[in-house]
Amino acid sequence: MPNRSHGLVSVALVAAAIAVFAFSAAAQDVPAQLQPPANEQLLLRVQAKGDQVYTCKTDGATPAWTLKAPDAQLFDKDGKPFGKHFAGPSWEANDGSRVTGKAVANVPSPDADSIAWLLLNIVGHEGNGVLSKATTVQRINTKGGKAPATGCDASHAGQELRIPYSAVYVFYAPK
């Protein structure tokens, strides 16, 4: 009679190997210029869903949609509300901890209709909580959010436009 427990163990090992491979393959998809410093480790991943808010600026040589601020809700790995993302750029957890970042690198999204992927250094902390130790954040896996190439002209000066987007924000902290 065949031993069924060996089959179940094999299935579990194969599933674990696939999960490890999928995680490492996803990590490899992030370009080198967006990697956090070697002395940092993963702190937290959250999913953002909301809008990139643009304003029609006509004070330059060519009128253009200019980013005003993100306006997004953040969700944890289980889809539960985690906090919000807004002007700064800033991220605030429901526990009151807040960080502000400054972009240090960007690469175009693999999806040409989506906003760039970013690496940001944390330049400000407020409150005490889950984000208190964060020092770096990545914006990856973006969908949407890109300003249109047209529609901003003198007749639309100052007009706001909200473009839906989603992204993954990955926070890192010192090891």
For the chain, what is the domain count? Answer: 1
Domain interval for residue 153: 31-174
**What's the pLDDT at 14?**
38
Please, which residues have CB within 8 angstroms of residue 131's CB and are 6 or more apart in sequence?
Answer: 44, 91, 92, 93, 97, 98, 99, 125, 171
- The pTM for the full model equals 0.82
Q: Is 90 exceeded by the pLDDT of residue 77?
A: yes
> Does some domain include residue 20?
no
88 residue type, one letter = G
Residue 51 forms beta bridges with which residues?
A: 71, 164
The pLDDT confidence band at residue 169, using thresholds 50, 70 and 90, is very high
**What's the pLDDT at 100?**
98
Using CA atoms in the order 19, 172, 37, 143, what is the torsion angle rounded to 10 degrees?
70
Give the tokens for residue 32.
């080198």
> Does some domain include residue 167?
yes
> Does some domain include residue 3?
no
> Does some domain include residue 103?
yes
Q: Is 90 exceeded by the pLDDT of residue 11?
A: no
> Does some domain include residue 160?
yes
How do residues 29-52 score in pLDDT, each as one tens digit? 899 999 999 999 999 999 999 999
> Does some domain include residue 55?
yes
Which residue has better confidence, 58 or 2?
58
> Does some domain include residue 7?
no
> Does some domain include residue 23?
no
E-state strands within 40-159: 40-57, 64-75, 81-86, 90-93, 98-107, 117-126, 136-144
